[in-house]
Amino acid sequence: MIDLIKAKKAVVGIVGLGYVGLPLVLRFHEVGFRVVGFDIDTRKVAMLNAGRSMIEHIPSDGLARACAGGFEATDDFARAREVDILILCVPTPLNKFREPDLSYVINTVESLMPYIRVGQMMSLESTTYPGTTTEELATRISAHGFTVGVDYFLVYSPEREDPGNPGFTTRTIPKVCGGETPACLATGVALYGEVIDQVVPVSSTQVAELTKLLENIHRAVNIGLVNEMKVVADKMGINIREVIDAAATKPFGFVPYYPGPGLGGHCIPIDPFYLTWKAREYGVSTRFIELAGEVNSAMPDYVVDKIKIALNNRFKSVRGSKILVLGIAYKPNVDDVRESPSVFIMERLRDLGAVIDYHDPHVARFPKMREHFFDLDSVALSAEALASYDCVLVATNHQRINFETVRQHAKLIVDTRGVFRDKADHIVNA
């Protein structure tokens, strides 16, 4: 396996062609591997085979070059026989009880089991709780008649993507890798060493799994802290962002985190609950993590309350008010709306009787989502349009939004992102 990898003769199969899988496709192709992509979404498969990217920050021209160079996508999992390496990049959401939902991982592995063969390697990249690789993957591979570490190799290497951040690419972000056995780890390090500048080997798949959770829990807890501080500072009439900027001048012992309308994306709002759920198996209560989750989950309601008060001070109610939401992606300069706090805020305002529109230069139409629906297109941003709304909510601070135009023409602005730092009668910080 290692010889095949070093000679770039190993065929790489990427299962799940989304925000994690597609960058890996392009990177493995870029360095000379033959790549086959697997996805159950037939529409996505057809788009990719036509050289068309469905993700804004992944350009279609790079995908078209990959297709011309031999990349192909398929929904036929029987073709897993053709590949030497299977990298699983499938979602790991929460269920309605906020417990881990491993159905995508388990269903994917079950779909692949009839077609795996001796000598292959499988890498799980999906975020999950410690023990998943051993309990859900290794046991199935062993039940299939293979000896993990001898005739089948299994690793866990968590994804680390930062969409919209040009300072980091798939190649330059260090890659943690843990193996089920030393031989498994050796194959994993060899594989990722061909495409990633720095591979960080760890002693087990469980260490790698917990590493990913710690990274995102660290962010969730610190964001929860500044969100709580924001509420306190607001009661005191203090601008929390000015406080954070001042504290950030300390050259040691402080890392600035900034408040917002809540947490979004597939990782930070979800991953902490994977650990809290698993910790209960060991009789441990993760109170600190759960408290941060409560604070962050309450932020959309906090923003709605600020809108209510701001409208009430202008002798208006939320019911019947026209409200424009600026930005529905979960963070600036991307088109990803998964778990976006903007969407939760929009739903709460709609339930209160507001008339909702949105503007997002990265999301032309409100996307199909499992649990949320708005039949809306992004409205054009103009002086006339801005002046027609009772309230404009700054939910995501995309660089492509002209906030000076917003300042000049909106009657009322509720700013959750600290875009407007100066005081003005028509601007409310939230």
Chain centroid to CA 365: how far? 19
Confidence of residue 322 (pLDDT cuts 50, 70, 90): very high
β-sheet with 413-415: strand ranges across: 355-359, 322-326, 391-394, 413-415, 427-429
**Residue 212 sits in a domain of what CATH number?**
1.10.1040.10
Say if residue 364's pLDDT is above 80: yes
> For residue 256, how many other CB atoms are within 10 A of its CB?
14
For the chain, what percent of residues have pLDDT higher than 90? 91
- 406 and 309, same structural domain? yes
- 194 and 53, same structural domain? yes
Confidence of residue 98 (pLDDT cuts 50, 70, 90): confident
Write out pLDDT tens, residues 149-196.
Answer: 999 999 999 999 887 788 899 999 999 999 999 999 999 999 999 999
Write out pLDDT tens, residues 27-38.
Answer: 999 999 999 999
Predicted confidence at residue 277, as pLDDT, reads: 93
Report the mean per-residue pLDDT for the chain: 95
For the chain, what percent of residues have pLDDT higher than 70? 100
Predicted confidence at residue 6, as pLDDT, reads: 97
Predicted confidence at residue 415, as pLDDT, reads: 97
Predicted confidence at residue 418, as pLDDT, reads: 94
Last-in-domain residue among 241, 271, 297: 297
Task: Give me the number of domains the chain comprises.
Answer: 3
- 199 and 173, same structural domain? yes
- 149 and 23, same structural domain? yes
- 257 and 226, same structural domain? yes
Say if residue 127's pLDDT is above 80: yes
Last-in-domain residue among 275, 297, 319: 297
Predicted confidence at residue 165, as pLDDT, reads: 81
Contact at 8 Å (CB) between 154 and 294? no
Write out pLDDT tens, residues 186-233.
Answer: 999 999 999 999 999 999 999 999 999 999 999 999 999 999 999 999
Give the list of residues 6+ apart from residue 24 with CB closer than 8 angstroms, or none. 14, 87, 89, 170, 195
Say if residue 268's pLDDT is above 80: yes
Write out pLDDT tens, residues 282-300.
Answer: 999 999 999 999 999 999 9
Predicted confidence at residue 267, as pLDDT, reads: 83
Predicted confidence at residue 224, as pLDDT, reads: 96
Predicted confidence at residue 299, as pLDDT, reads: 97
The percent of the chain in helix, strand and coil, each rounded to the nearest 5, is 40, 15, 45
| Angstrom distances, CA of residue 314 to CA of 89, 118, 311, 324 | 49, 71, 5, 17
Q: How far is the C-alpha of 20 from the C-alpha of 161, rounded, in Å? A: 7
- The count of residues in the chain is 430
Predicted confidence at residue 103, as pLDDT, reads: 96
Give the list of residues 6+ apart from residue 308 with CB closer than 8 angstroms, or none. 318, 352
Q: Stretch 259-264: mean pLDDT, rounded?
A: 93
Contact at 8 Å (CB) between 343 and 337? yes
- 371 and 277, same structural domain? no
Predicted confidence at residue 243, as pLDDT, reads: 97
- 262 and 188, same structural domain? no
pTM of the full predicted structure? 0.92
Which of 227, 233, 258 minimizes the C-alpha distance to 245? 258
Last-in-domain residue among 176, 203, 230: 203
In this structure, of 101-110, 209-218, 233-242, 267-276, the range with the lowest mean pLDDT score is: 267-276
Q: Stretch 17-41: mean pLDDT, rounded?
A: 96
Residues marked as catalytic: 267
- 313 and 183, same structural domain? no
- 139 and 239, same structural domain? no
Tell me the three-class secondary structure of 196-235, residue by residue: CCCEEEECCHHHHHHHHHHHHHHHHHHHHHHHHHHHHHHH
Predicted confidence at residue 210, as pLDDT, reads: 98
Predicted confidence at residue 162, as pLDDT, reads: 83
- 122 and 29, same structural domain? yes
Contact at 8 Å (CB) between 124 and 156? yes
Confidence of residue 327 (pLDDT cuts 50, 70, 90): very high
- 336 and 388, same structural domain? yes
Q: Stretch 38-54: mean pLDDT, rounded?
A: 95
Q: How far is the C-alpha of 304 from the C-alpha of 308, rounded, in Å? A: 6
- 198 and 81, same structural domain? yes
* Owning domain of residue 246: 208-297
The CA-based angle 189-193-195, given to 5 degrees, is 135
How many contiguous H segments (helices) and E segments (strands) does the chain have?
16, 13
Instruction: List alpha helices for 203-332, DSSP H.
Output: 205-235, 240-247, 271-281, 287-297, 299-312
In this structure, of 172-176, 272-276, 300-304, 393-397, the range with the lowest mean pLDDT score is: 272-276
**Residue 114 sits in a domain of what CATH number?**
3.40.50.720
